[in-house]
Amino acid sequence: MAKAWKFQNNINTDQIIPGRYYPRENVEELGEFCLCELHPKFAKEKQKGDIIVGGSNFGCGSSREYAPIALKYSGVKCIIAKSFARIFYRNCINLGFPILVCKECYDEITEGDDIDVNLESGEIKNNTSGKKYNAQPLPEFVLKIVDAGGMINYLKEQANSENTNEV
C-alpha cells in the first residue's frame, strides 16, 4: 500500500526544500522538511514508500541538489509527474532517485489513492480506481544511468568496461 500525495503544476525547488533549511551537516535531516511549508500534512503524515504525483514542470527553479536529496530522505518511493524541469530531472537521474513521466496520472489520480509502481517496467496501478498506466520510457542514455544506479556508478561501469573514452 503506497499512498499518493498530490501536488499541482510548477512545484519549485524553493517549495521542495526552502533555502532556509540548508546547508546543514546531516543532509538526511532534510527529509523532515521536504515540502513542509507547501503541504504540512504531507510533511507530517508521509510514510516510507509513498508516492508523489505532480503536474507539469515539477522541480523548476534552482539547481540545488538538496531538493532531490530532501525527497529521497523523505522516504518517498518515486515521483510521477506530467513533466519535469531540466536541472531537477538530471539531478534525480544522477542520484538514482526514480522519476516517472505520466500525463494521465496527474489528471486521474486523487490524493490518498493506493498506488503500486513497478519502477523497472514503468507500470503504474491505481488500486483505488482499478486503472493502469504506463510511464513514458526514459531516453536510452538516461536509462543507462538509471540502470547503473546513478551517474557515479555509471561512470564506474564505463571505466570498468572496455569503453573508457567517455570518462
Partner 1 sequence: MGTLTEEIFSRKLGREVKAGEIVWVELDRIMSHDTMSWLAIEAMRKVSNELGIEAKPKFPERIVIPFDHILPPANIDQAKMQRNIMNFIKEHKLPHFFQEGVCHQIMIEKGFVQPGNIIIGSDSHTCSYGALGAFGTGMGSTDVGIAYATGRTWFRVPESILINVTGEFQEGVYAKDLILKIIATLGVDGATYKSLEFRGDAITRMSIPERITLCNMAIECGAKAGLIEADEKTVEYLQGRTTENVDINNNGIIKANNGNYEQTFNFNISELEPQIACPHDLDNLKPINEVEGLELHQVFIGTCTNGRYEDLEIAANILRGKRVNRFTRTIVIPASTEVFQKANESGFIKIFQDAGCIVCNPGCGPCIGRHQGTMASGEVALTTMNRNFKGRMGSPEAEIYLGSPAVCAASAIEGKITDPRKRREE
| Site of interaction with partner 1 (CB under 8 A) | 10, 12, 14-15, 18-20, 22-25, 27, 37-38, 56-57, 60-66, 68, 83, 85-87, 90-91, 94-95, 139, 141, 150-153, 155-156, 159, 166-167
Backbone angles phi, psi at 16, to 5 degrees: -65, -50
Nearer to partner 1, 132 or 144 (CB): 144
Joined together, the cell numbers standing for residue 93 give 537521474
Report the nearest approach of partner 1 to the CB of residue 21 (Å). Answer: 10
Q: What are the residue ranges of helices labelled H in the chain? A: 13-16, 30-33, 40-45, 66-73, 86-95, 103-108, 140-148, 151-160
Report the nearest approach of partner 1 to the CB of residue 51 (Å). Answer: 22
Nearer to partner 1, 119 or 152 (CB): 152
Please state, in angstroms and rounded to a whole number, the distance separating the CA atoms of residues 159 and 120: 25
